[in-house]
Structure 1
Amino acid sequence: MKESDYSFEELIHSESFQNWVKGQAEPEEKKYWDDWVAKASENRLLAMRAQKRIAGFSIKPTSNPNRAKVWRNLQKHIPGKKDHNLKSKSISSSNDRLQWFFRAAAVFLLVASTALAIHFMYEPAPGKQEDQLVRKEVITKYGERKTIKLNDGSSIILNAHSNLVYSVDPGDSNAVEVFLDGEAHFSVEKRGNPEDSPFKVRTSGGYVKVMGTEFVVSTRNQDTQVVLEEGSVALTPMNSGNREMTIMKPGELAEFNADSKSIKTRLVNTDVYSSWTTYQLVFDKTPLDEVMDRLENTFGVKVVVRQADLYERTISGAIDNSSLEVITSALSNTLDTPIIVKDDAVYVDK
């Protein structure tokens, strides 16, 4: 590998440099590029330009940052007790053990709450005995996703750290009912008569009745969120008194919980919510706290942001999400802020 200067075009087309940007470089390659970047400020500036091109990120400030939300996020992410100076604190081995204990407890509670919800929410179809239904459970770990193919031709992609239980009527493969805790993308074959052969998705917040469509359902942060790519779905909150359904249109996002009296919808860029199925993350003026939530839910890490004004940024662009190192490297270059991954945690602005 030559020691001479590189042009911008040479860098972005260099497989070795691309590997270094994506965190996939061999030890010798990594040392080479680390040394090359440190050799001169010109090299560093050129490398940053090339990294941004490869990563595909851009940033814009939000016009009206939610200060209360910023403060809540800071409180949530600052380790230990109150630290008005936002200084990092050393984590003792006992704290590490506690962290793992709480993580294990959280997993236990997730499984327990899911089991209870399934017990109370699954109701056999009229005229069908529960033991006639075929029921299966699929669980994904952090950093994992699974694809489920159903006999009716529908498919489900289950995102990381999620739990899905589905039941199928052996006498009618089109009659499918799903309970979801986490996040999943559904591609459902069109029904000739949705009333006779329904495909239903249930969450702790309510019901999604499917007419044949593609959509994403997420139960992160307690509320149920549905993003409709194409087709049509009908939503009903769990405790809605009149059981009135809200019919979504393609391109809409809807959020609700069990006690919602009405469901508010808004138009969104659906790629932001479904791109993870193609091993990419797409952002479109996405607030930084939502980006960090995505990292926590996908990779099971704790994100600590120590600089409050970073929450005033929004992220736009696309990046490969095959590894945490690739994403944090791109974010670091985009935000021009150090990001360190250490001990199941991501520290932004050391």
Structure 2
Amino acid sequence: MKSLDYYASLEADDLAVEPEFRAWVLSPSPPLNQFWESVKAVNPQQQVVIEQARLLVYGLEMTWEDVPEEVTEASYARLRHRLPYEPPAVRPLSGARPWFHRYRAVAAALAMLLLAGVGWWLLTRSPELLTYQTAYGKIRTVTLPDGSVVTLNANSTLNLTNNWSTQERREVTLTGEAYFDVNKHPNGRRMPFIVHTGTMDVVVLGTRFSVTTRREKTQVVLQEGKVKLERDRQPDIMMQPGDLVEASANQQKIRHTRVNADRYVAWRENQLIFEDEPLQVITQRVQDLYGLRVSVTDRALLDERFTGVTPIDQPDLLIRLLAETFKCRTTRQGTDIVLTPKTR
């Protein structure tokens, strides 16, 4: 069996030809039932697709089933019995096929018309929107329809349509933070991969990079390959590995600098790395990732800087390190945390 996420982005016609899916539809068993119920639970947006694929499997099986001649003859006899008159006898021409073969040919033609209609519906129906989300403090890795792999950081959403197989461009929309490992040539085709954010479009053909789009600001860090950044009424920017580009929606100025790209994608390895970061930036990061609102009674501390490494799945440890570094005591009520400098 493939992973549960593998089936999350398949269309009905693709799912209908998967051997594991056909085995479940045609010969269900408790293990298969349990697996496909898990697929539905993990990917609720696929339930309609799964039901459509089940109908396709049934339809294909019935289309190619060989109808016994005695069944055909019985059906024809019932048809003749209902006719108001006896049709005149016609002597078949030499070499003509028996009548029941002609009857089966008509049935096969009708079945092919039915399949053509289903195929037309699949091609012309409105594309469905696929949505992948993560909660606060959670990381999720998903495989897209083209084989590209995306790792979503906490509190992030990725949207795309399920009709990439009929398009010339692969497009996604990101809110939050994600790391992309893009398939260069899906199905042997060269298709641009585009990440839409509120500030810019990231256009790639095959590469590894991180995109963060929060608080009306987009940051792109390129780890491998090349990408092009497109902005309205602004020159395109070509990025090289190790480049960081940051832009705000309400500002024309762009920050373009060289960085250690591994530091910016360390969250994929369960690490948060801060290098000389202002406390104000860190508190924003804490709110974005964990939904925790950190405030400081002495606002002068917000300009103080912090360097350190913490596990991304231990926000309490990060808060404790900040308190110790800036000599503060912490007060917490629900998701609100207050840092108050200790009196000397």
Q: How big is the alpha-carbon RMSD for the aligned residues of Structure 1 and Structure 2?
A: 2.9
Which among 126, 146, 150 is matched to residue 144 of structure 2? 150
CA contact (8 A) 1:174 1:199 kept: no
TM-score (norm 2): 0.57
Gaps of 5+ in 1: 1-128
Between stretches 320-329 and 332-341, larger displacement belongs to 332-341
Alignment partner of 1:329 is 2:323: no
2:276 corresponds in structure 1 to 285
Distance across 2 between alignment mates of 1:135 and 1:340? 43
Gaps of 5+ in 2: 1-122
Which among 316, 339, 342 is matched to residue 333 of structure 2? 342
Alignment partner of 1:316 is 2:307: yes
Distance across 1 between alignment mates of 2:168 and 2:209? 18
Distance across 2 between alignment mates of 1:198 and 1:332? 46
Distance across 2 between alignment mates of 1:260 and 1:192? 36
Distance across 1 between alignment mates of 2:261 and 2:213? 17
Which among 200, 213, 216 is matched to residue 210 of structure 2? 216
Alignment partner of 1:235 is 2:235: no
What is the one-letter code of the residue matched to 1:223? K
CA contact (8 A) 1:272 1:284 kept: no
Which among 302, 307, 316 is matched to residue 298 of structure 2? 307
State the 1:264 CA deviation: 3.6
Distance across 2 between alignment mates of 1:320 and 1:305? 23
Distance across 2 between alignment mates of 1:289 and 1:328? 13
Alignment partner of 1:161 is 2:152: no
Distance across 2 between alignment mates of 1:130 and 1:136? 18
2:104 corresponds in structure 1 to none
- Note the 1:109-120 alignment, pairs <5 A: none
- The structure with the largest helix share of the pair is 2
Distance across 2 between alignment mates of 1:194 and 1:207? 24
Q: Residues 260-308 of structure 1: CA distance to partner in whole angstroms, max 9, x if unpaired?
A: 6564411223244222222210111112111111101111121111123
What is the one-letter code of the residue matched to 2:282? V
State the 1:131 CA deviation: 4.2
What is the one-letter code of the residue matched to 2:153? N
* Matched position secondary structure for 2:214: coil
* Matched position secondary structure for 1:294: helix
TM-score (norm 1): 0.56
Choose between structure 1 and 2 for higher RCO, CA contacts under 8 A separated by at least 6 residues.
1
* Matched position secondary structure for 1:204: coil
Distance across 2 between alignment mates of 1:165 and 1:192? 19
Distance across 2 between alignment mates of 1:309 and 1:257? 25
* Matched position secondary structure for 2:135: coil
CA contact (8 A) 1:194 1:211 kept: no
CA contact (8 A) 1:168 1:175 kept: no
State the 1:317 CA deviation: 2.4
CA separation of 1:169 and 1:253: change in aligned 2, threshold 3 A: same
Q: Residues 287-340 of structure 1: CA distance to partner in whole angstroms, max 9, x if unpaired?
A: 211111110111112111112332232222211121221211222223332233
Distance across 2 between alignment mates of 1:263 and 1:307? 31
CA separation of 1:215 and 1:130: change in aligned 2, threshold 3 A: farther
What is the one-letter code of the residue matched to 1:160? A
CA contact (8 A) 1:152 1:173 kept: no
2:66 corresponds in structure 1 to none
CA contact (8 A) 2:220 2:245 kept: yes
Larger radius of gyration: 2
CA separation of 1:305 and 1:246: change in aligned 2, threshold 3 A: same
1:140 corresponds in structure 2 to 134
Q: Residues 46-86 of structure 1: CA distance to partner in whole angstroms, max 9, x if unpaired?
A: xxxxxxxxxxxxxxxxxxxxxxxxxxxxxxxxxxxxxxxxx
2:63 corresponds in structure 1 to none
Distance across 2 between alignment mates of 1:311 and 1:338? 15
* Matched position secondary structure for 2:194: strand
CA separation of 1:131 and 1:287: change in aligned 2, threshold 3 A: farther
CA separation of 1:291 and 1:146: change in aligned 2, threshold 3 A: same
CA separation of 1:232 and 1:168: change in aligned 2, threshold 3 A: farther
CA separation of 1:259 and 1:340: change in aligned 2, threshold 3 A: closer
Which among 218, 228, 250 is matched to residue 241 of structure 2? 250
What is the one-letter code of the residue matched to 2:261? T
CA separation of 1:325 and 1:264: change in aligned 2, threshold 3 A: closer
Identity of aligned residues (%): 32
Distance across 2 between alignment mates of 1:164 and 1:335? 37
State the 1:192 CA deviation: 8.6
1:184 corresponds in structure 2 to 178
CA contact (8 A) 2:145 2:162 kept: no
1:22 corresponds in structure 2 to none
CA separation of 1:212 and 1:170: change in aligned 2, threshold 3 A: closer
2:109 corresponds in structure 1 to none
- Note the 1:258-277 alignment, pairs <5 A: 263-277=254-268
